[in-house]
Amino acid sequence: MKTTSVYGIPYIEADDLVSSAPTQFRQTAEGVEKVLREIDARATPEGVSPVTATTLETLESLEGVNGQSGVVTGDTMQRNGLYYRLGDAWHPVEIRQKRTWGCRFKRSANDLILNNGDTYMMFSNVTGSADIKTTANSKGAYAILPAGRWLVKEYMQFSGIADMTWLSIGVATVGGASSLLPSAAESSTSGNAFSAIECVTVIESDGTGGIQVSFHSNNSGIMRVAGYLNVVEL
């Protein structure tokens, strides 16, 4: 006998044997009764309250309703935590790890030159969560962030930019992303000495928005090495 897709109630089909009808009617009735009993149990305080146990073995010995939550409180660190009831067993609720992602950025694959004006950056050496995708627009590469809030840091070392030159670096947002904190940093140089600039901010994304490196200088120069862009899910 086949069963319904939602509650799994068995039903008779046209090609089922007539001689099996009594058994099949009984199976259908028992299937309906099982579903009704489960629905009734969910409507009781016992069916909606979490089942609490000090050890996993104790929890496994207790009955529950499909979808009901369970909590183990006094077992080992690896076994303590939340569980849910499915079928005839309790299953652990897996806590998803916070996602991280990072890359290096520079003008192009083999170019560390900084423009007089805006320098559009490209990404390389991407690592971290595959949930974060990269693409590009007319202002360089950008990373698309899944829905949520993200801590973002940009860091870049530079040299060869003339004295009294102002430069800035920022986290520009694309599409459905917005910055919750100031998202730019500014600095002035002193001679041609090595120096660095960084920006840290928090970005909120609706799942379609992205971020890209925004860099501006009123004189040309060079990056010592490719810059760093890192994001951490909050």
CA distances 95 to 50, 80, 126, 130, Å, are: 18, 12, 25, 18
pLDDT tens by residue, 55-97: 999 999 998 888 889 999 989 878 999 999 988 899 999 888 8
Phi and psi dihedrals of 47, rounded to 5? -80, -20
Write the single-letter amino acid at 171: V
pLDDT tens by residue, 157-197: 988 777 667 889 999 999 999 999 989 999 887 666 678 89
Q: Which residues contact 219 (CB under 8 A, 6 or more apart)?
A: 116, 161, 162, 165
Are 184 and 167 a contacting pair, CB within 8 Å? no
Q: What is the C-alpha end-to-end distance of the chain, expressed in Å? A: 49
Q: How confident is the model at residue 45 (pLDDT cuts 50, 70, 90)?
A: low
Report d(CA 38, CA 20) in Å as an integer: 27
- Ordered by where they begin, the domains of the chain are 1-43 (no CATH), 50-95 (no CATH), 100-233 (2.60.120.40)
Helix ranges (H only) for the chain are 21-42, 45-48, 56-60
pLDDT value of residue 30: 80
